[in-house]
Amino acid sequence: MKTAFIFPGQGAQSLGMLADAGTEWPIVRQTFNEASDVLGFDLWDICQRGPEEELNSTAVTQPALLTASVALWRQWLLDGGAKPDYVAGHSLGEYSALVAAESLRFLDAVRLVRLRGELMQSAVPRNEGRMAAIIGLDDDAVREACAAAAEGEVVEAVNFNAPGQVVIAGHTEAVRRALELAKEKGARKVVTLAVSVPSHCALMREAAKELAEDLQSVSMDSAVIPVVQNVTATVETDRAVLIENLVKQLYSPVLWTDVVRQLASLGVTSVVECGPGRVLSGLVKRIDRSLALHSLESVDDYSAAMAALKADT
């Protein structure tokens, strides 16, 4: 029986995340302390006390989620949990996956995602970019709405999260026009997302160029655990390919539906969400209900996942 660990991206953060894990397991606070030393501020304190606006700032959210996911991964290994057959991460979560895959060192990953967040934040002036979710339309209808709404601006389908759930991103007014067209096409629901940058669209191309320079300078290895990457939904281990796809990821769609289907096609039967929240578990359930889902979000969830996977081996 094959397993996959999946790692969440932006949107999974919340004040107080991993509070019980931080009390129960010393490795959690140790991991946050390591990240804080790199960042120059107390990351754990922001995650627990806020202010929420600061936690939700892209340049803070990204290292916070990476650190939370890696802390849970480290605890899993300390407890003798089996390494998965595959790993994958949603957007930012791909960096967490690469740490688990022994391709990227944790502290290098902290520096990279901090830089990634800063580059993304500075790529588009505040309030000039937006992301929104469209529920209840097929992928092609969303693409058509974006094409018709662009009017010389950028608006693109950027996260194919599950059948009937697509996120769009781009210039604020173009996104607004696309949402109106989506409603006219019969979308069941449209939701503007509380994120500070329009990720995975053409507005991020300049940020990607700068990120590419830093990725090439980081000590990064080929992956020990195969990674199913966002932009191709293919299984990769080669260092050069992993880096190339990380750069493309900044301005290319996240093919999450295809990632999950790829994992299932590889024989994966159990999926473990390693990080705060259950966003990815909800998406996986909509994509393939045959997959057994486990969460490490809380101490109780973690214990249940460990017991279930040990029983399967």
Type and span of the H or E element at 141:
helix 139-149
Residue 139 to residue 137: CA distance in whole angstroms: 7
The encoded tokens of residue 84 equal 């998965």
270 is catalytic: no
Which of 57, 103, 199, 200 is catalytic? The answer is 200
Residue 177 to residue 163: CA distance in whole angstroms: 22
91 is catalytic: yes
Which of 57, 91, 252, 281 is catalytic? The answer is 91
Residue 167 contacts residue 137 (beta carbons within 8 Å): no
Strands 268-273 and 2-7: parallel
Residue 187 contacts residue 133 (beta carbons within 8 Å): no
Beta strands in the chain (DSSP E): 2-7, 86-89, 129-135, 155-162, 165-171, 189-192, 227-228, 235-236, 268-273, 292-295
Residues with a catalytic annotation lie at: 91, 200
